[in-house]
Amino acid sequence: MILVLLLFVPAVASALIARSRNSSRAALIHVWANIATLIAGLDVVQRVYVTKTEIAWNLLRADSLSAFMIAIITFISAITGIYAVGYVNTEFDSSQFRRARLFYALFQLFIFTMLLAVTTDNLGVMWVAIEGTTLATVFLVNLHDNHTGLEAAYKYLILSSVGIALAFMGTVFMYYAAVAQASEIGLSWTSLIAVANRLDPTIVRLAFVFILIGYGTKAGLAPMHTWLPDAHSEAPAPISALMSGVLLNVGLYALIRFKAVADISAGPAFASAWLMRFGLLSLGLSAAFLVSQRNYKRMLAYSSVEHTGIIALGLGFGGYWGTLGALLHMVNHALSKSMLFILSGSILLKYRTTEIRGVRGLLKTAPWTGRAFLCGIFALVGLPPFGAFISEFIIFRAGFAMHSTAYSVIGISLLVVVFAGMLASMNSMLYGSPAEPWDRSDPVRLPLAPVALNVVLLLALGLTLPDGVQEFLGGVLRIVGVSL
């Protein structure tokens, strides 16, 4: 039942917001919905941790992997949602109420589709939900309704839809392979895993390639990533935070589900090889574009492609440590990237430009924002004591252990390149003297506070790994078919 409640809250909130009359009521519903979703999400996680699975209806199901994703989604959306109130109040004045209302309503709808994607057992419904995330976010990308926003939103819609259609074709092929074994199997993932060892490997390989291309488009793997820099940089900051931090992870979640099936039926080497290739390509392409970026939001977007590549490399390296590192990195990236995009929203509100050149002396003009930005960038490029260092270390060490030395070496060198590029940009933004006249104030204060939680969690993940968390992750790994 709790699962139904989990999905019910954002859906109903979206409908209620769409009918609200003034901005403050919409914001209120929005914040309460986020908090309620967070509580429900944490409850699901706690239940799954204690028992092993939870089934609501025949379509909804939450195992450890789903609970893992639910935790990420609800937590990040709560933090982002609270910040969004501050952003909307500063960005839109009272005459643009309709835009604000559209923003909140689509925000809740977006969360609903993401939660649906990770709590369903039926692979077809998962597909419908992921396509739903695209449809829900398109108007959000184009919220400011200017030329560049229109271009970004159109490219996003067409590329995502075409990519996801290919993923559907892969799903159909997988279904075909399953039906050849047991005719009344439906598209349920659990039954697919159960018969996975009897599926025809050739067909499963064919299906997996399409699924990788399709859901990889959604996750931001190169070379299907071309929509990502445009869409994530044109969207308003809270939406970019959600899209980069959470939606890419939902795409990766779909890939993990199918990889579990492909590993059993076609052998782990096939899926791993493809994931490693795409992962390294994503790392390489993003590093190349990142170092010459002049727009800080695009820089962060390319960094998302880079980190998706790292996660794909981790999944490709495989084994216990590779997959564990990938899962940890999903969490770390979600925390750091969402925080950074939130802060970029504040920077945009203060400086009114997205050019790196146009931002100077951030530490002086907006001290809290600047300090958090510093922490965020450190976390993002993988410096200790933040969590990303640990997860990247685990991933690349797994690469060496699995004898994929070339991939690891090239990956690490690319990470160094990205490190240099991002730190250079960050330095030029944080230090120096700002243009006259300037005043010392953070544009968004109180709603920004929850970002501190992000920093704390990143530090915690970088310094320790509590037993409870490790046991939980062990449960997730068992679902995926990996064991120590």
Partner 1 sequence: MPFGKLANLLSFLFLLMSFLLIVRNSLSGQVRMFAIQSGILAALAGVVALFGGRLELFGVAAVFAIIKVAVIPSVLNRTVAKIGMQRAVAPYLGTSSTLAVCAVLVIIAFTAMAPITGSDPLPTADGIPLAFAGVLIGLFTTVNRRRALTQILGFLMLENSIFMIALLATYGVPLIVEIGVFLDVLVAVLILEVFVYRIKQNFDSIDVKQLGVLRG
Whose Cβ is closer to partner 1: residue 150's or residue 449's?
A: 150
Q: Which helix (H) or strand (E) holds 475?
A: helix 467-480
Applying CB under 8 A, among 153, 429, 476, 477 the residue interacting with partner 1 is 153
Q: Which of 107, 127, 253, 368 binds partner 1 (CB under 8 A)?
A: 127
Closest CA to 136 of 174, 97, 173, 108: 108
Report residue 392: phi and psi, to 5°: -65, -40
User: Which listed residue (35, 200, 412, 469) binds partner 1 by CB under 8 A?
Assistant: 200
User: What distance in Å separates the CA atoms of residue 448 and residue 344, rounded to the nearest whole number?
Assistant: 12
Nearer residue to partner 1 within complex by CB, 233 or 308? 233
Assess contact for 2 and 44: CB atoms under 8 A.
Answer: yes
* Stretch 274-293: interaction string toward partner 1, x if CB under 8 A: ---------------x--xx
Q: Which of residues 7-66 bind partner 1 (CB under 8 A)?
A: 59
- Which one of 169, 195, 423, 459 is in contact with partner 1 (CB under 8 A)? 169
Scan for tokens 């899962």, then name that residue: 327
102 forms part of the interface with partner 1 (CB under 8 A): no
Question: Could you tell me the smallest distance in angstroms from the CB atom of residue 79 to partner 1?
Answer: 28
- Take residue 372 and report the two structure tokens written for it: 């958090």
Q: Judged by CB under 8 A, which of 5, 16, 56, 135 binds partner 1?
A: 135
DSSP string, 11-56: HHHHHHHHT-SSHHHHHHHHHHHHHHHHHHHHHHHHHHHHSS-EE-
CA-based nearest residue to 250, from 111, 152, 56, 109: 111
- Helices (H), ranges, 51-146: 64-91, 97-119, 123-141
Total residues in contact with partner 1, by rule CB under 8 A: 50
* Residue 122 CB coordination number (10 Å): 18
Q: Is the dihedral of CA 223, 418, 233, 372 positive or negative?
A: positive
Calculate Rg over the CA atoms of the chain.
21
CB of 173 to partner 1, least distance (A): 7
Stretch that binds partner 1, among 9-17, 137-145, 251-259, 424-432 (CB under 8 A): 137-145
CB nearer to partner 1: pick between 124 and 385: 124
Q: Is 229 in the site for partner 1 (CB under 8 A)?
A: yes
Per the rule left: phi > 0, alpha: psi between -120 and 50, beta: everything else, 436 is: beta
Map residues 344-373 to x or -, x wherever contact with partner 1 holds by CB under 8 A.
Answer: ------------------------------
Could you say whether residue 172 binds partner 1 (CB under 8 A)? Answer: yes
- Nearer to partner 1 among residue 187 and residue 313 (C-beta): 187
Residues of this chain that bind partner 1 (CB under 8 A) = 59, 122, 124-125, 127-128, 131-132, 134-135, 138-139, 142, 145, 147-148, 150-155, 157-158, 161-162, 165-166, 168-169, 172-173, 175-176, 179-180, 186-187, 200, 202-203, 206, 229-230, 233-234, 289, 292-293, 298
